[in-house]
Amino acid sequence: MKILAIDDQQLVLLPLEKRLQESGYDIMTSTQANEAITIFKEFKPDLLIIDINMPHANGLEIIRTIRKEMKDETPIMVLSGNTDESLIVESFELGIQDFMKKPLSLDEVSARVKRLIGTVGNAIKKPLSQNSILQNRCVGVVIPCYNEENRLKSKEFIDFVERNSGYHLCFVNDGSTDKTIDVLQKLKEGREHYISIYDCDKNGGKAEAVRQGLLHISKFDDLDYVGFLDADLSTDFEDFDDLVKTIESTDFQIVNGSRISRMGANITKESARKVISMTINFIIVSILGMPFKDTQCGAKIMRKELIPIAFDKPFITKWLFDVEIFMRMKNHFGKQKAQEIICEQPLKRWIHADGSKLSMRDSMQIGFQLFKIHAEYSFKKDDNKKVRDLKPESRSTISVQPQNVD
């Protein structure tokens, strides 16, 4: 039995394709929604699975063409994050057999497919791959790495991408002098669609590694949101996924993790480090003029449309680039608007990991670097105010030309 699945986001199609192939179906997938009718006629599937909201084609129009013009009665299953009741009703009136609302599990999809077209008699009897959730959004995450050969938690990263669809992890090797690149290559092997490596020839510091990584993945068409996370996973994936859930369900443009000690949370820091952090944050809040609790948390998620505003130019500091991001947002949108579109979300867990790349010399320069940031951003106007209000629009096609990207 043949199944054709059409969705503009490859990160949604890949786990679906794998699961249905394991169940014995002959499946073809395509992200070219504008060619759906041609592919449908050539492949002649026994079942069509299609998304409705796609940038270059209207799923309802494709269904209408198949049912009204072609007079074809092939079973059609809609897989969509759009839960508008009128759209669902119209889909059934056009003759679809099922409507599945994202997010949903692969196990549920498999059960619905079997109900519609039955099972494949000659399917190989073997355990199916791990169940995962088909999401309604796709997220690119940059993980900067410098000499992480002995600290990188490869198993945790692998487990996460196998359990959670819709994520692409981009590891940036920031000119490591140990065998970090070998560890990353092994991590990527067999998972090329979900994991990529951006290799920098020279160590440029965390700020530039994050910037280059985000400029790189901003070219991926199927990503809705992008962000970054520390390689030591001091902020775990459960908390990061909560940040994503917040940005996709609100009008916030940036959601910033915040390491606030509070009842019910597991936030651990060394006493001296905590005092230093509080002092630095007091200075940062004074410079920004916005009531941030924690700008320096290494977990942030943002809409992809913000990349040209926040990351087009190199940062002037290696470690305080988070402050620069918010200064750029403030200069671009204005203080009031910036405070409306940036959300701080407390983490449930954050544990300081040994092996910080922040040297004593860097620490002693923090005060001077904050002064540089204040001077650079407080007395210069943003000359890139092209858009004052960014609407939360999925799968933007804004083109970004990264610097020094192969």
pLDDT tens figures, 144-158: 999 999 999 999 999
**Among 215, 141, 221, 168, which Cα is nearest to 397's?**
221
- Alpha-carbon gap, residue 40 to 21, rounded angstroms: 18
Q: Verify that 300 and 201 share a domain, yes or no.
A: yes
Q: What is the pLDDT of residue 221?
A: 86
* Position 96 in a domain: yes
DSSP label of 361: H
Write down the pTM of the prediction. 0.83
Give dist(CA 127, CA 173) in Å, integer: 36
Q: Residue 214 and residue 329: Cα distance in Å, rounded?
A: 16
Are 247 and 206 in a shared domain? yes
Neighbours of 156 (CB within 10 A): 11
pLDDT tier, 388 (very low <50, low <70, confident <90, very high otherwise): very low
Res 29 pLDDT > 70: yes
The pLDDT > 90 percentage for the chain reads 59
Q: Is the pLDDT reported for residue 389 higher than 70?
A: no
pLDDT tier, 121 (very low <50, low <70, confident <90, very high otherwise): confident
In a domain, 227, yes or no: yes
- Rg from Cα positions in the chain: 23
Does residue 132 lie within any of the structural domains?
A: no
In this prediction, residues 127-135 reach a mean pLDDT of: 78
Tell me how far apart the alpha carbons of residues 17 and 132 are, in angstroms, rounded to a whole number. Answer: 13
Q: How many domains does the chain have?
A: 2
Q: What is the pLDDT of residues 213-266, one digit of tens each?
A: 999 999 998 899 999 999 988 888 989 999 999 999 999 999 999 987 554 556
> Of 117, 151, 183, which residue constitutes the final position of a domain?
117
pLDDT grade for 406, boundaries at 50, 70 and 90: very low
What are the residue ranges of helices labelled H in 202-320? 206-217, 237-248, 271-288, 307-311
Q: Looking at the structure, do residues 99 and 157 belong to the same domain, yes or no? A: no
Residues 142 and 96 in one domain: no
* Token pair in block for residue 76: 């059609």
Q: 300 with 183, same domain?
A: yes
Amino acid at 172: V
pLDDT classification of 275: cutoffs 50, 70, 90 = low
**21 or 128, greater pLDDT:** 21
Q: Are residues 6 and 86 in the same domain?
A: yes
pLDDT band, very low/low/confident/very high, at 3 (cuts 50, 70, 90): very high
396 has pLDDT over 80:
no
In one letter, which amino acid is 215?
L
Q: Element (H or E) spanning 405, and its range? A: none
Q: To the nearest whole percent, how much of the chain has pLDDT over 70?
A: 83
In a domain? residue 365 = no
Tell which residue, 397, 371, 103, 378, has the closest CA to residue 249.
103
Residue where one domain finishes, among candidates 89, 117, 145: 117
**DSSP letter for each residue of 27-84:** EEEES-GGGHHHHHHHH--SEEEE-SEETTEEHHHHHHIIIIIS-----EEEEES---
| Helices and strands, number each (H, E), in the chain | 15, 18
What separation in angstroms does the CA of 287 have from each of 135, 219, 284, 337?
Answer: 39, 33, 5, 17
User: How confident is the model over 157-181, as pLDDT tens digits?
Assistant: 999 988 888 999 999 999 999 999 9
Backbone angles phi, psi at 221, to 5 degrees: -65, -30
CA end-to-end span of the chain, whole Å?
42
Q: 83 lies in which domain range?
A: 2-117
**DSSP labels, 245-275:** HHHHTSS-SEEEEE----TT-EEE--HHHHH
Residue 399 pLDDT class (50, 70, 90 cuts): very low
Nearest to 290 by CA among 247, 323, 332: 323
Q: What is the DSSP letter of 92?
A: H
Q: Please tell me the chain's helix, strand, coil percentages from 3-state DSSP, rounded to the nearest 5.
A: 40, 20, 40
> Do 38 and 159 lie in a common domain?
no
**β-strands 167-174, 195-200 pairing:** parallel
Round to whole Å and give the CA distance between 339 and 139: 23
Q: What is the CATH number of the domain that holds 148?
A: 3.90.550.10
Task: Identify residue 166 by its one-letter amino acid code.
Answer: G
Task: For residues 38 and 67, give the distance between their C-alpha atoms in angstroms, rounded to a whole number.
Answer: 15
Same domain, yes or no, for 164 and 70?
Answer: no
Residue range 26-44: mean pLDDT, rounded = 95
Q: What is the per-residue pLDDT across 299-344, written as a single tens digit (0 to 9) for each?
A: 999 999 999 999 999 999 988 999 999 999 999 999 999 999 999 9
Burial 277-295 (b: 16+ CB within 10 A, else e): eeebbeebbebbebebebb
Same domain, 155 and 258: yes
Q: Are residues 71 and 109 in the same domain?
A: yes
Does residue 387 lie in a domain region?
no
**Span of 37-41, 47-51, 224-228, 269-273 with lowest mean pLDDT:** 269-273
Residue 386 has pLDDT above 90, yes or no: no
CATH number at 46 reads 3.40.50.2300
Q: Does residue 394 carry a pLDDT above 50?
A: no
In a shared domain, residues 196 and 238: yes
HSE on the CB side for 90, CA within 13 Å? 12
Whole-number pLDDT of residue 366: 80
